[in-house]
Amino acid sequence: MGKRPIGWFIQEFPYEFLGENEKGNKIIRIKLTKEIVEVADDVYMGLIKEKNSAKKIQNEIDRHQEHSELSENSLYERAVIKQEALEEEVEKRVLVETSFEELSTLPLVQRRRIIKYYLQKKTYEEIAKEEKCSKVAVKYSIDLGIKKISKKMKF
């Protein structure tokens, strides 16, 4: 026998409970053939379990599988990392390259402090402690360096 499709029991073998007889057996009507059948309790419970398990599988499919059309546009809209336009990417690269070129023109102390602050994410206090100077001197040096770079890049 081939593999059955999901939900086969609900689709192919629907039945309805009609009652019990004097022996306690369940009486069901098979809707497909319109037969009335007498079944024992354990068989009836097996039918109920089979129906419930098929329904459970169908619910899993309904809740967790994709039911919408997966087109190029819908997949692009769902993308976690959206691709930037080529022009924006080029502009960013040029800006970074220019920034590093301008950074290299600064005096060594200013350059080192800017790198520690912006790239290594250190605080003014940490830089001042490492260089054995005041926090104010570090902040002034970094601000002045950024001002020089901004002026040359025309921001």
- On whether both 93 and 55 belong to a single domain, the answer is no
Q: Residue 100 sits in a domain of what CATH number?
A: 1.10.10.10
Determine the structural domain holding residue 21 and report its residue range.
Answer: 8-64
pLDDT confidence of residue 138: 95
Q: Is residue 70 part of a domain?
A: no
Q: Is residue 122 part of a domain?
A: yes
Query: Between the CA of residue 120 and those of 94, 116, 124, 140, what are the distances in Å?
Result: 22, 5, 12, 18
pLDDT in tens, the chain (155 residues): 445 554 444 455 567 767 777 777 777 777 667 777 787 777 778 877 887 887 888 788 777 766 667 777 777 777 766 666 788 888 888 888 888 888 889 999 999 999 999 989 999 999 999 999 999 999 999 999 999 988 887 75
Q: Is residue 74 part of a domain?
A: no
- 19-31: buried (b, 16+ CB within 10 Å) or exposed (e) per residue? eeeeeeebebeee
- On whether both 106 and 138 belong to a single domain, the answer is yes
Q: Is residue 36 part of a domain?
A: yes
CA distance 28 to 15: 6
The residue type found at 143 is D
Residue identified by tokens 């990417």 is 89
Q: Residue 124's CB: how many other CB atoms inside 10 A?
A: 19
Q: Is residue 72 part of a domain?
A: no
Query: Between the CA of residue 148 and those of 21, 35, 109, 155, what are the distances in Å?
Result: 97, 92, 14, 10
Q: Is residue 78 part of a domain?
A: no
Q: Say how many domains are in the chain.
A: 2
